Amino acid sequence: MASGPEVAAELARKAQRIGVEVAGPAADDVDRLARFPSEAVDALRAEGFMDALVPTELGGKGASVDAVAGAVSALGRHCASTAMIYAMHLMQLACLVRHGRSAAHRDYLHELSAGQLLLASATTEIGVGGDIRTSLCAVERSDGHFRLEKQAPVISYGEQADAVLVTARRNPDSAPNDQVLVLCRREDLKLEPVSGWDTLGFRGTCSLGFRLTAEGEESAVLDDPFAQISSRTMLPISHVLWSSVWLGIAAAAIEKAGRFVRGEARKQPGTAPPSALRLAELMLEHQQLKDLVAAGVREYEARYDNPEALMAMNFAVRMNSLKVSASRLVVDIVTGALTICGMAGYRHDSPLSLGRLLRDAHGAALMVNNDRILANNAQMLLVPWDDV
């Protein structure tokens, strides 16, 4: 049985290989056609990535958040859509691992590990204005079964996922914020597309809108209220893993800028080209982003098994700050790389093209809008919360 650091090293090595050999070569095609990166996701499945966060006693790899964040960044260097899909899968997986304590959910984790199943999520809903802590739809229960129907403005890779975790009100009489999370398996689901996904970036995530109906065993409903799942797990791990995707995008842009500068330098060895100074300057921001993400991962891991510390306001503020800062830095870094590469970066038909990276980077501030996150922080910071 491999120990923690060995699992991390193995994930990093395999993610790197999949990035270079599979996800990277397909990335432009995935982007152009806005198609699901099936070859990359198949490769992740084949290498056993889908159960990374499942404890070993439930048949998984038992990897740390640090290890999966590293794998996400490594993939993000080559195909941001692939990295984002894997990151979103991991977010749902973490919720299931940490909050699905019933026998039915434990059994499902075995099944997921054995079959390398892909999880998606339906947390937003048409009519709630993007607030995931509010639901209109409700779980209806009878005779040990449940039924729910949700108008979902986006379900990333909904058509490719093996199961979708869906938020809904606990029952038809519940208040909008009295939510539960329901594991809806493919065979229990009906998804009717209501909108497409033709966007600037992250085109391979295929985040179509759907009318979702699900019916199944009542045991599919997770025990913990979504309020707890959200603050203890979904919110922090989302921000850590999204930031890891963006770190991968930034690293790819830096790599292209570096290649450009080296090319210039070769023309006149002995004299550093003007762009070298720009690159040195850009590395300041790259280092900020790397350190920011690393610190976020460390802080989350330090609190991972302490519910009180996970629910502390200051921690929520810092995870929110991580997301906003990282999403700004990635745009600055890719834009800086474009300045360095000039026309070679601006062209689509150049090996140093930065078009896809720039378009993907701009999604960072919008996918959960930074204004919403800053408004949450503004509210929480009205009083000086004690640290836990």
Partner 1 sequence: MEIDDSIRSVLAEFAKLAVDVSTLSDDDDIFDAGMTSHASVNVVLGLEEAFDIEFPQRMLRRSTFESVSAIRGAVMELVGSPAP
Residues that bind partner 1 (CB under 8 A): 133, 174-175, 177-178, 225, 227, 231, 308, 311-313, 316, 376, 379-380, 382-386, 388
Letter for the amino acid at 164?
A: V
Beta bridge partners of 184: 164
Q: Least separation, in Å, of the C-beta of 151 and partner 1? A: 22
Smallest gap, in angstroms, from Cβ of residue 239 to partner 1? 15
Residues 53 and 276: their CA atoms lie apart, in Å, by 41
Strand order in the sheet with 163-169: 119-122, 163-169, 179-185
171: Cβ–Cβ under 8 A, 6 or more apart, which residues?
Answer: 138, 139, 140, 141
* Cβ–Cβ < 8 Å for 162, 190: no
Nearest by Cα to 166 from 104, 129, 213: 213
In whole angstroms, the minimum distance from the beta carbon of 256 to partner 1 comes to 41
Please give the biggest Cα pair distance in the chain: 80
Closer by beta carbon to partner 1, 126 or else 311: 311
Q: Name which of 39 and 224 has its Cβ closer to partner 1.
A: 224
Report, in Å, the least distance between residue 291 CB and partner 1: 27
State the Cα–Cα distance between residues 157 and 208, nearest whole angstrom. Answer: 7
Phi-psi region of 341 (alpha: psi -120 to 50; beta: other; left: phi over 0): alpha
Q: Least Å distance between CB 44 and partner 1?
A: 34
CB nearer to partner 1: give 34 or 311: 311
Q: Are 166 and 184 in contact (CB under 8 A)?
A: yes
CB count within 10 Å of CB 65 equals 22
Distance in Å, CB of 386 to partner 1, minimum: 5
The smaller minimum CB distance to partner 1, of residues 144 and 384, is found at: 384
Q: Min. distance of Cβ 174 from partner 1 in angstroms?
A: 6
138 forms bridges with which residues in the sheet? 169
Which is nearer to partner 1, 91 or 312 (by Cβ)? 312
Query: Count of H helices and E strands in the chain?
Result: 14, 7
**Residue 34 or 374: which CB sits closer to partner 1?**
374
Cβ proximity to partner 1: between 153 and 225 the closer is 225
Half-sphere exposure at residue 55, Cβ-oriented, CA atoms within 13 angstroms:
10
